[in-house]
Structure 1
Amino acid sequence: MKSQEIIHIAVAETSMIVRSGLVAVLRRLPDLNVQTVEITSKEGLQHCMEAHQPEILIVNPQFEGWFDLEAFKQQYARQDMKIVSLICTVVDANQLKGYDESINLFDDLDAVAHKISTLMNVNEEEDSGQNSLSQREKEIIGCVVRGMTNKEIAEQLFISVHTVITHRRNITRKLQIHSAAGLTIYAIVNKLVELSEVKMNL
């Protein structure tokens, strides 16, 4: 799956604060185009599944008392739908069997992005190439080696400065390159920038 494609995610949780908070996080995930549906009841979940089954269902294992995962899977046997447990309280490990992944209240933006990307195999094509860099991360490397500040990068790419910083942190972690010179060499070798573009900023 390509990162530009829309990922439909349904969030089934009775607490408005938890549900809306998670939806806000999902909409801010870098490099992922997420469309969300909020579900507040089992009846609402049934309507959602009949109208359009999402690629990912994030559900509290204690949704409306108890969420019977096995019965749900039998009723909606769509094999490619991933089901993620939303952990808001202490949960018995047995309740989490059968889920494809878990998200909890202490996960940060990067952790949630990684889990969703892994579930959907986003950047599958890029993984085989440049150390799993996303297209957006490649763009940011190009901007950095051209001498742009975080604020300038954010303005050019129409994203927040916070998102730029998150991308730069991910780039450093993935490439294990900690200097501007190292990043410049990487960008030239991998044809992310032309040598002439870098000379102006050396």
Structure 2
Amino acid sequence: MTINLNIVVADPSVIIRSGIEVTLKRIQGVRFHIDEVSAIDTLYEFLKKRKPDILIINPALLGYASLSLLREECACPKLKCVALLYAVAERSLLNQYDEFITIYDSAEDIKNKLEKISIQEEEDKTEDDDELQTLSSREKEIVVCVVKGLTNREIAEQLYLSAHTVITHRRNIARKLQIHSASGLTVYAIVNKLVELGDIKK
């Protein structure tokens, strides 16, 4: 299953914006819709109209404005914000961001960080659901893979994820369902019609 993410890249430099876009489009397993913004006044209007999933922004562009105020004024309360850094930044500056990336990060680094905040978003969406709806679609995919006998590495390859992300998903699945064994997940998957008996590895 391909993840779809709507992203706005906000930076005054066209070279940086274009470089981020090219890097994101090289990442497998994620389909990005990317828009570029070069000025703060344009950004506010853009966010109000587009309501993206993630904002990747140069903190200098934001100035002294707060991200909470930005989310409020643009009516994007669940907008995930990623700081785009050229150099080392003060930790206090980054506290209000969900994540940060640097211009030296590899495509794999960026993928892992975006997956991390996407996982958090999926958890937020399912937090108030009942048990049958607790798992996100990605987590259900991982349950099916576990039940079929795939290793973490095989799951990562099949779903275009990093092994670290698979482990994080499995930890979240265990926490949500309070199931800590493959046999327990098998029963859960059968009862909730995620798999057929014939799909289970003997």
Aligned residues: 182
Cα displacement string for residues 94-145 of structure 1 (whole angstroms, at most 9, x for unaligned residues): 5446x44232235553332222443576542587537964323323432443
1:70 corresponds in structure 2 to: 65
Aligned match for 1:42, one of 39, 43, 63: 39
**Aligned residue runs from structure 1 range 10-89, under 5 A:** 10-13=8-11, 14=13, 15-16=16-17, 18-20=19-21, 23-24=24-25, 28-29=29-30, 34-39=32-37, 41-42=38-39, 45-46=42-43, 49=46, 52-55=49-52, 56-63=54-61, 67-70=62-65, 73=69, 77-81=73-77, 82=79, 83-89=81-87
SS of 1:79's equivalent in the other structure is: coil
Q: Which has the larger radius of gyration?
A: 1
Secondary structure of the structure 1 residue equivalent to 2:36 = strand
Cα offset for 1:11?
0.8
Find the partner of 1:134 among 136, 141, 150: 136
The structure showing larger relative contact order (alpha-carbon pairs under 8 Å, at least 6 residues apart) is: 1
CA distance in 1, matches of 2:66, 2:110: 31
Of 141-150 and 110-119, more deviation after overlay is shown by 141-150
Residue 51 of structure 1, CA deviation = 8.0
Say which SS state the counterpart of residue 70 (structure 1) adopts.
coil
Q: Distance in 2 between matches of 1:24 and 1:46?
A: 22
Q: CA separation of 1:54/1:88 partners in 2, compared to 1, >3 Å: closer, same or farther?
A: farther
Paired with 1:84 and 1:146, the residues of 2 have a C-alpha distance of 36
Identity of aligned residues (%): 21
CA contact (8 A) 2:112 2:162 kept: no
The runs of 5 or more residues in structure 2 that have no matched partner are: none
Distance 1:45 1:153, change over 3 A: same
Normalised by the size of structure 2, how large is the TM-score? 0.58
Alignment correspondent of 1:124: 126
Change (3 A) 1:25 1:90: farther
In structure 2, the partner of 1:102 is: 99
Q: How has the CA–CA distance of structure 1 residues 22 and 128 changed in structure 2, closer, same or farther, with 3 Å as cutoff?
A: farther
Alpha-carbon separation, structure 2, partners of 1:164 and 1:93: 26
Partners in 1 of 2:124 and 2:59 — Cα distance?
26
